[in-house]
A and B are shown apart, each in its own frame.
Chain A
Amino acid sequence: MAYLSMGEAHRRITEYLNRFHDAVSYQDGTALKRLLSVSSDSPHLLSLADALNLVQDASRAIRQTDKYAQYADIILPLFRSLQNYRIKNLADSYQAFEKSANAFIQEFRNWESAWALEALYVVAYEIRVLAERADRELASVGKTPEKLKAAGSFLMKVFGVLAGKGPKRVGALYVTCQLFKVYFKLGTVHLCRSVIRSIETARIFEFEEFPIRDKVTYMYYTGRLEVFNENFPAADHKLSYALTHCNPRSEANIRMILKYLIPVKLSIGILPQESLLGKYKLLEYSNVVLALKRGDLRLLRHALEEHEDRFLRSGVYLVLEKLELQVYQRLVKKIYIIQKQKDPNKAHQVKLEVIVKALKWLEMDMDVDEVECIMSILIFKNLVKGYFAHKSKVVVLSKQDPFPKLNGKPVNS
């Protein structure tokens, strides 16, 4: 690091203080937000941090001057946070930032218009990110990672501040999304419920008024929740909304949406093209799709096993498992088509033995009883139209539309 003189250090601090004061006086949200983004590693803030670490105690400088003193509660802890961040004391950095953020919220409440909303977003973002890093640091030294949880509580407070009638309320969705991220990371997903309820039922919120960016994020997370609960029509609706309104150049985001949308679409009978999977690096679904196309149960099982950990972690494993029925349907359909080519008059009668043989060829060991069981399920769930004759061990397919399509509806439970 280049030699930093005391004079230069003081100059940097004073410059920051001036900027802060000006930003607030002229209600310049954009300028303000840049002064608050601790974790951004911006050269300006890093150099300020160095200056602070040299000077050690900036409080005199602040308190001596009236125009800075009024923001002391925000700035002093913010400085401490920066200093700690610079020397990689992340837990302390978070702690200090939270203090600063608290003071900021108090001021924010008093500011009338929504000019500082962007700055507030940065504060909310920083709270989360600093907490995440702090927890990582804590965990790595064997201590309890508790900062992210604290961040969650803080963000709820912020949400409360924004949930009012004024123009500030459009910020609520951004904070909601930060909360989602916190809860998902913590695994306390059930806590999302209360904030979702507030957004969706409170009369002060008009969903369309929120910025598009936040709506996309919101729909993404609520869509994921629907996937966990296997409400496929709702999941489809929400994730598709996120997809259509997402920035098409943001490939990473599209990939994340697709990761959850694809299993949903598969469950309602819509298959993605291989090129899509390739473009967004979702090739783990490749074999699943192929299995569905081919009626290849062995391939499905294999694909699930191969990517088991990944699917379990993202929570789509159970959804994919259930595709089995559609794979069976496809297999029987293929047999039917082959038989039709041989002898169109007899094609609609499929001997159970033939299905057993086909499955054996796929290295799936099933006896006639089990095949009958599967067929009866397919019939019951309307994946196959027809009936089975137990005595003659035959499935008789309906002459008309024996394999009804799902038409965008999930298989009947």
Chain B
Amino acid sequence: MIPIAITKVGEGKTEDEEEVEDNGFEYRQCVVDVVIVEDEEEQELSLSLKFTACVVNGSQGQHGRRGRRTHSSSSFNQSPHQFQSKNPTHTKKPSYLSSSNPMKDDQNASNSSSTIDHDEKGFPTVTGTCPFMCPEEERALRERLRDLAVFERLDSNPGKTSSALAVKKVNTAVLTRTAEMELSIDFGVFSQLGPSFCRTISSKQVQASDVRPLAVLEDTLKYLFNLLDSTEHPFEVVHEFIFDRTRSIRQDLSMQNIIGDKAVHLYERMGFLVVVTYLTDERQRIIIGTNISSLLTLQSTRPTILHAFMYFIAQVIFHVVSDHKLRICTGSPNISPMHQLNMEQLTKALTSLYFLYEANLNSHSFYKNEAEFRSFYVLLHLGSQSQPMGESLSLWLRDVPHSIVKSKEMCFARRVLRYFRVGNYKRFLCTIEAEASCLQYCILQPYISEVRAFAVSCVNYGGYKIHPYPLPDLSKLLLMKEVDVESFCSDCGLETTTDEVGKKFLPMKQTSFCHPKRVFQNYFLLDSRRLER
């Protein structure tokens, strides 16, 4: 019985208390503050970009989870204080927005930046003149240093390449320092989201002959696409190369401040490329491919949003995959700084993606993707419920639209969350094995290990002393191959025994349990036909 005390003092709260959910009109406003910090060596000014996204939700949810809004010029406002000069040409929309066919070639020559030496803000932009996929200087340097990727080598000679093979690498000297900066650079292409010319190039460091103009970039991308079919090298190598080189294309694009139809096409194809390289399964590739191309032919009133979607989806996928790779390659648990950065990037990409979903009021074509991408958020934060400073999932779930909450992917994520929090290791592992998509599985990897360790410790703690647990049963429970179970147990500080007929067991009530410090690749793969790569 909850005690109700009688107070002596007759004061209560003010009568105006109104709960958010009481038949009220609910709204939420998010501010994303992207601040770029100056690099000491750079003398370029930094800009900060602030944009606000607003969503209005009707609380009944019957007429769609989004209210009707008149299409204003931009659903994002930029705060006027943030920009030092307000030049009207910046807010001019690129020509393709007004044309009915967004896929038409860009006829507006002035959109190409190759004739502009200074943009309106007074920042010098570079005008690329490099005619090759890789600038001559870099090619010569890397030949000397024998820093050539396998695809770039002439006759497999690590010290020889050609202009047909060498592709410009990501320039780390002008590499942006933080996750925010990278994201905001990409934002700059999608001018509908608000002009953002956030670059930290110093014109002294970069020469025009080092930067490839748009036409060359298009050819480079075509070349990279063709590499996809190369079967002689392992997947990781191909992916690594393609990803680095497409990132370099992005760099060149943003350095030249190329916006407009063609640039957008490039971005979209790069996104596609990233997605496709990730999916080595032919069938999956075809499915994603047709989905994407059908999205592309959609006549949307906001073609840039479409491309932005593509791009962020690709980013998310990239980060999920590279995190996965990181873990496998380094074999270390999740504490490394690279992992941190990756997780930050991933969360930011996801957040940006959610903004776009909410801003895109008319089209429901992304609904299917949205559910899965929202589910990622839940899966990423499985263990964060009791972090005092962490983003509480309870809070986040409050604001998710009803239709998403009910979607298959979100329901999956919520069930997995429930199993994780309750500790139901059996259902946790079974459900993932049976239902997780590729990407969801990648995200869940670290938790799978954690849950397995928990399972072993529970079994060890509660099991009957006289009956050691047969390893085959344990392997079925943990969805691991039996040989892996053995080494996993030993990583947990537990011994396994073998009886006279060669059957293996885990004795119970061992006191030496500890959480495994090293994590090996084999443990990750759930022993499952469905998820086999």
Residue positions of B touching A, CB distance < 8 A: 1-7, 9-17, 19-21, 25, 27-31, 52, 54, 56, 67-70, 72, 77, 385-395, 397-399, 402, 405, 417-418, 421-427, 455, 457-459, 461-465, 467, 469-470, 473, 476-477
- Please, which residues of chain B bring their CB within 8 A of the CB of A354? none
Q: How far is the CA of A315 from the CA of B423 in the complex (A)?
A: 21
Q: Which A-B residue pairs are the 6 nearest by beta carbons?
A: A247-B12, A250-B12, A379-B462, A389-B464, A373-B426, A244-B5
What is the CB-to-nearest-CB distance from B281 to chain A, in angstroms, rounded to a whole number?
31
Interface centre among B21, B426, B467 (most CB of A within 10 A): B426
Q: How far is the CA of A248 from the CA of B11 in the complex (A)?
A: 9
For chain A residues 233-247, which have a beta carbon within 8 Å of chain B? 243-247
B427, A318: Cβ atoms closer than 8 Å: no
What is the CB-to-nearest-CB distance from B460 to chain A, in angstroms, rounded to a whole number?
9
- Please, which residues of chain B bring their CB within 8 A of the CB of A104? none
A313, B421: Cβ atoms closer than 8 Å: no
Query: Which chain B residue lies CB-closest to A313?
Result: B21
- Please, which residues of chain B bring their CB within 8 A of the CB of A139? 25, 27, 54, 56, 67
* 29 contacts across the A-B interface (CB closer than 8 A): A125-B14, A136-B25, A140-B25, A142-B69, A184-B20, A213-B12, A216-B13, A228-B395, A229-B387, A231-B386, A243-B4, A245-B7, A252-B17, A254-B4, A261-B2, A276-B2, A315-B392, A317-B394, A318-B393, A324-B418, A325-B423, A373-B455, A377-B458, A379-B462, A380-B423, A387-B464, A390-B463, A390-B464, A396-B464
B70, A142: Cβ atoms closer than 8 Å: yes
Residue positions of A touching B, CB distance < 8 A: 125, 129, 135-136, 139-140, 142, 144-146, 148-149, 184-190, 193, 211-213, 216-217, 220, 227-231, 243-250, 252-254, 256, 258, 261-262, 265, 270, 272-273, 276, 308-310, 312-319, 321-322, 324-325, 369-370, 373-377, 379-381, 386-392, 396, 413
A243-B2, A247-B13 provided; 15 other pairs, C-beta below 8 A? A125-B14, A125-B16, A139-B25, A148-B29, A189-B395, A213-B11, A229-B386, A230-B386, A248-B6, A250-B13, A272-B1, A321-B418, A325-B422, A369-B426, A376-B458
Partner of A145, one of B1, B17, B29, B455: B29
What is the CB-to-nearest-CB distance from A46 to chain B, in angstroms, rounded to a whole number?
19
A145, B9: Cβ atoms closer than 8 Å: no
Q: A256-B17, A390-B463, A390-B469 are in contact. Are A144 and B12 (CB under 8 A)?
A: no
Q: How far is the CA of A193 from the CA of B470 in the complex (A)?
A: 51
A374, B424: Cβ atoms closer than 8 Å: yes
A318, B462: Cβ atoms closer than 8 Å: no
Give the dominant DSSP class at A's interface.
helix
A388, B463: Cβ atoms closer than 8 Å: yes
Q: How far is the CA of A324 from the CA of B16 in the complex (A)?
A: 36
Partner of A228, one of B17, B394, B465: B394
- Please, which residues of chain B bring their CB within 8 A of the CB of A390? 463-464, 467, 469-470, 473
- Please, which residues of chain A bring their CB within 8 A of the CB of B459? 376
A377, B423: Cβ atoms closer than 8 Å: yes
Query: Which chain B residue lies CB-closest to A314?
Result: B21
Query: Which chain A residue lies CB-closest to B394?
Result: A315
Query: Which chain B residue lies CB-closest to A374?
Result: B424
A377, B422: Cβ atoms closer than 8 Å: yes
A144, B2: Cβ atoms closer than 8 Å: no
B12, A312: Cβ atoms closer than 8 Å: no
- Please, which residues of chain A bring their CB within 8 A of the CB of B391? 190
Q: How far is the CA of A165 from the CA of B2 in the complex (A)?
A: 39
Q: A144-B77, A373-B424 are in contact. Are A391 and B467 (CB under 8 A)?
A: yes
A244, B3: Cβ atoms closer than 8 Å: yes
Q: How far is the CA of A372 from the CA of B67 in the complex (A)?
A: 49
Q: How far is the CA of A319 from the CA of B19 in the complex (A)?
A: 20
B462, A253: Cβ atoms closer than 8 Å: no
- Please, which residues of chain B bring their CB within 8 A of the CB of A253? 12-13, 17
Query: Which chain B residue lies CB-closest to A257?
Result: B13
Partner of A270, one of B2, B423, B455: B2
Q: How far is the CA of A392 from the CA of B392 in the complex (A)?
A: 42
Q: A230-B385, A313-B20 are in contact. Are A212 and B11 (CB under 8 A)?
A: yes
B52, A244: Cβ atoms closer than 8 Å: no
A213, B464: Cβ atoms closer than 8 Å: no
Q: How far is the CA of A99 from the CA of B388 in the complex (A)?
A: 38
A186, B3: Cβ atoms closer than 8 Å: no
What is the CB-to-nearest-CB distance from A36 to chain B, in angstroms, rounded to a whole number?
16
B463, A145: Cβ atoms closer than 8 Å: no
Query: Which chain A residue lies CB-closest to B25?
Result: A136
A376, B386: Cβ atoms closer than 8 Å: no
Q: How far is the CA of A246 from the CA of B14 in the complex (A)?
A: 11
Query: Which chain A residue lies CB-closest to B28?
Result: A187
- Please, which residues of chain B bring their CB within 8 A of the CB of A376? 458-459, 461-463
Interface centre among B11, B68, B390, B405 (most CB of A within 10 A): B11
- Please, which residues of chain B bring their CB within 8 A of the CB of A314? 21, 398
B423, A387: Cβ atoms closer than 8 Å: no
Q: A187-B399, A247-B11, A261-B2 are in contact. Are A322 and B422 (CB under 8 A)?
A: yes
- Please, which residues of chain B bring their CB within 8 A of the CB of A211? 11
Q: How far is the CA of A370 from the CA of B427 in the complex (A)?
A: 7
Q: How far is the CA of A270 from the CA of B426 in the complex (A)?
A: 29
- Please, which residues of chain B bring their CB within 8 A of the CB of A375? 462
Q: How far is the CA of A307 from the CA of B425 in the complex (A)?
A: 27
Q: How far is the CA of A350 from the CA of B366 in the complex (A)?
A: 51
What is the CB-to-nearest-CB distance from A411 to chain B, in angstroms, rounded to a whole number?
10
Q: How far is the CA of A313 from the CA of B17 in the complex (A)?
A: 17
Query: Which chain A residue lies CB-closest to B476?
Result: A369
- Please, which residues of chain A bring their CB within 8 A of the CB of B5? 243-245, 248
Query: Which chain A residue lies CB-closest to B387?
Result: A229
Q: How far is the CA of A217 from the CA of B5 in the complex (A)?
A: 17
- Please, which residues of chain A bring their CB within 8 A of the CB of B28? 186-187
Q: How far is the CA of A390 from the CA of B2 in the complex (A)?
A: 41
B464, A256: Cβ atoms closer than 8 Å: no
What is the CB-to-nearest-CB distance from B130 to chain A, in angstroms, rounded to a whole number?
44
- Please, which residues of chain B bring their CB within 8 A of the CB of A190? 391
- Please, which residues of chain A bring their CB within 8 A of the CB of B21? 310, 313-314
Q: How far is the CA of A313 from the CA of B386 in the complex (A)?
A: 19
- Please, which residues of chain A bring their CB within 8 A of the CB of B464? 387-391, 396
Q: How far is the CA of A246 from the CA of B476 in the complex (A)?
A: 55
- Please, which residues of chain A bring their CB within 8 A of the CB of B388? 229, 231
B394, A216: Cβ atoms closer than 8 Å: no
Q: How far is the CA of A314 from the CA of B399 in the complex (A)?
A: 10
What is the CB-to-nearest-CB distance from B181 to chain A, in angstroms, rounded to a whole number?
23
What is the CB-to-nearest-CB distance from A272 to chain B, in angstroms, rounded to a whole number?
5
Q: How far is the CA of A230 from the CA of B390 in the complex (A)?
A: 11
- Please, which residues of chain A bring their CB within 8 A of the CB of B72? 142
Q: How far is the CA of A88 from the CA of B1 in the complex (A)?
A: 48
What is the CB-to-nearest-CB distance from B199 to chain A, in angstroms, rounded to a whole number?
28
Q: How far is the CA of A136 from the CA of B25 in the complex (A)?
A: 7
Interface centre among A129, A243, A318, A381 (most CB of B within 10 A): A318
B462, A185: Cβ atoms closer than 8 Å: no
Q: How far is the CA of A270 from the CA of B1 in the complex (A)?
A: 7
Partner of A317, one of B19, B68, B397: B397
Partner of B394, one of A217, A316, A377, A413: A316
A413, B11: Cβ atoms closer than 8 Å: no
Q: How far is the CA of A211 from the CA of B405 in the complex (A)?
A: 42
